[in-house]
Amino acid sequence: MSYFEYKLNGDFDLEQTLDSGQCFRYFDRDGGFIVVSGRRAAHFVQEGDCLKCSSSKDEFNSYWLDYFDLSRDYAAIKKQFSFDEVMKKSMEFAYGVRVMRQDFFENLITFIISQQNNIPRIKKIVNSLCENFGEKIDVMGDVMYSFPTVEVLANLDSDKLSVINAGYRAAYIIDGAKKVLSGEITEENIRNLDYENAKAQLKKINGVGDKVANCVLLFGAGHIQAFPIDVWIKRGIDEMYNGVLDTEIFSPYGGIAQQYLFYYMRKGR
DNA sequence: GTCCAGGGTCCCA
DNA sequence: TGGGACCCTGGA
């Protein structure tokens, strides 16, 4: 098995990035991780500044490179943030976190599932969703499952979906899929609309409020200024910013600042 | 076994 | 604008 080797130039750590609550479909394997996104899957191993990827060079360059946001200059962004002492501390700890660019629909459904839920259970439900309604993908002899298509999820009734134990979120999943299938919500629109309008569109989906909308905008639609505020971020603002933070101070990269703070709050204390 | 809380949102007063 | 309900389970 041959691996494509990509030369990193700093500010990236595979494990930190995967483990920063943005994506839930990765699995420990042979000193690295199998990562599944949509219908794709690959095995990744990081050795220092070398990122090894089991997929072809073409696929790496056309998909995974942007998936891990590797062409963005994080060194410059860190420099921009360094005026803020709290952020400085967060960045030192979360030095290798990047904001991933994930599949829009997969990200939408995943973060609908995430609400009022803990990370181990989110992983479990998302994986169950894929195993039950996705298709098999072979990666290095391991069987993985693709994320279900819009059509499949939109045409499910809540009875069938109950096997994944998503609880009251099942109806939200179906509503989200239906609104995407009908064209009421389109990825193109969410990407191209300005931040406020894009957020308002997403919130038309039942079960999508401010937090989930911001996550989808940030991780699945390229709105890098989106700043999701969850319990950890709230805690961070309370404890480290005395309860007040104007997120505009990190403009236009609020989402990246948020991700550093999130990782620091969850893992660094 | 018991209890609390989890990368929230909706509904109703 | 605030507070309770909500499915279920991981972790203490």
- pLDDT of the residue at A251: 97
User: Whose structure tokens read 């973060």?
Assistant: A111
Average pLDDT over residues A147-166: 96
Looking at every residue in chain A, the average pLDDT score rounds to 97
DSSP code for A250: G
Average pLDDT over residues A122-143: 96
Pick from A143, A43, A133: nearest CA to A35? A43
Is A234 one of the annotated active-site residues of the chain? no
Please count the other Cβ atoms lying within 10 Å of the Cβ belonging to residue A102.
23
Q: Which amino acid is at A49?
A: D
Q: What's the CA gap between A8 and A49, in Å, rounded?
A: 5
Q: Extract the tokens encoding A193.
A: 């609309």
pLDDT digits (tens, 9 = 90+) for A165-223: 999 999 999 999 999 999 999 999 999 999 999 999 999 999 999 999 999 999 999 99
Q: Which amino acid is at A151?
A: E
Beta bridge partners of A46: A51
Helices A254-267 + A85-93 axis angle, to 10: 70
Contact A165, A146 (CB under 8 A): no
Share of chain A above pLDDT 70, in %: 100
pLDDT category of residue A7 using cuts at 50, 70 and 90: very high
- Would the Cβ of A123 be found within 7 angstroms of any atom in strand B? no
- Would the Cβ of A123 be found within 7 angstroms of any atom in strand C? no
A89, A123, A211, A267: the active-site residue: A211
Nearest nt by C1' to A169 Cα: C7
Contact A30, A23 (CB under 8 A): no
- pLDDT of the residue at A267: 93
Average pLDDT over residues A33-61: 97
pLDDT digits (tens, 9 = 90+) for A20-40: 999 999 999 999 999 999 999
Nearest amino-acid residue to C8, taking CA and C1': A167
Q: Which amino acid is at A191?
A: R
pLDDT digits (tens, 9 = 90+) for A238-267: 999 999 999 999 999 999 999 999 999 999
CA A168 to chain CA centroid, nearest Å: 22
- Would the Cβ of A210 be found within 7 angstroms of any atom in strand B? yes
Please count the other Cβ atoms lying within 10 Å of the Cβ belonging to residue A266.
18
Nearest nt by C1' to A97 Cα: B7
Average pLDDT over residues A41-60: 98
Q: Is the pLDDT of residue A269 over 90?
A: no
Q: Is the pLDDT of residue A237 over 90?
A: yes
Q: What is the Cα Rg of chain A in Å?
A: 18
DSSP A137-190: EEETTEEEEPPPPHHHHHT--HHHHGGG--TTHHHHHHHHHHHHHTTSS-HHHH
Nearest amino-acid residue to B7, taking CA and C1': A230
Average pLDDT over residues A30-59: 97
- pLDDT of the residue at A120: 96
- Would the Cβ of A267 be found within 7 angstroms of any atom in strand B? no
Beta bridge partners of A137: A144
- Which residues 149-188 in chain A have a CB closer than 7 A to strand C? 162, 165-169
- Would the Cβ of A189 be found within 7 angstroms of any atom in strand C? no
- Would the Cβ of A211 be found within 7 angstroms of any atom in strand B? yes
Share of chain A above pLDDT 90, in %: 97
pLDDT category of residue A140 using cuts at 50, 70 and 90: confident
Torsion region of A180: left, alpha or beta (phi above 0 gives left; psi -120 to 50 gives alpha): alpha
Q: What's the CA gap between A114 and A126, in Å, rounded?
A: 9
Nearest nt by C1' to A218 Cα: B7
